[in-house]
Amino acid sequence: MDGTVRKDIKIGDQVMVVQKQDQRTGKLTEGVVQRILTNSANHPRGIKVMLEGGIVGRVQKRMG
């Protein structure tokens, strides 16, 4: 499942995000959603979230 639909992402979900500085390379960072930062119902590049530990990125996929 991709991370473009806000209602599919819940606080506490294990996700893979791409951080702003990694967008060119596509490097993914794994973490647990602490806050959902995107207000719109969906976003073509992924819903922006803050992971536990303060990392901010756009969700590329949800894990399990």
Cα–Cα distance measured from residue 6 to residue 8, given in angstroms and rounded to the nearest whole number: 5
Domain extent listing, the chain: 1-34+51-64
Q: What is the pLDDT of residue 2?
A: 85
Q: What is the mean pLDDT of residues 36-49?
A: 97
Number of alpha carbons in the 13 Å side-chain half-sphere of residue 50: 6
With a cut of 80, say whether residue 1 has pLDDT above it. Answer: no
pLDDT band at 64 (very low <50, low <70, confident <90, very high): low
- Which residues are 18's β-sheet partners? 28, 58
Q: What is the mean pLDDT of residues 56-60?
A: 98
Dihedral angle sign, alpha carbons of residues 15, 29, 24, 48:
positive
Cα–Cα distance measured from residue 34 to residue 23, given in angstroms and rounded to the nearest whole number: 21
Q: What is the pTM of this model?
A: 0.93
**What does the mean pLDDT of the chain come to?**
96
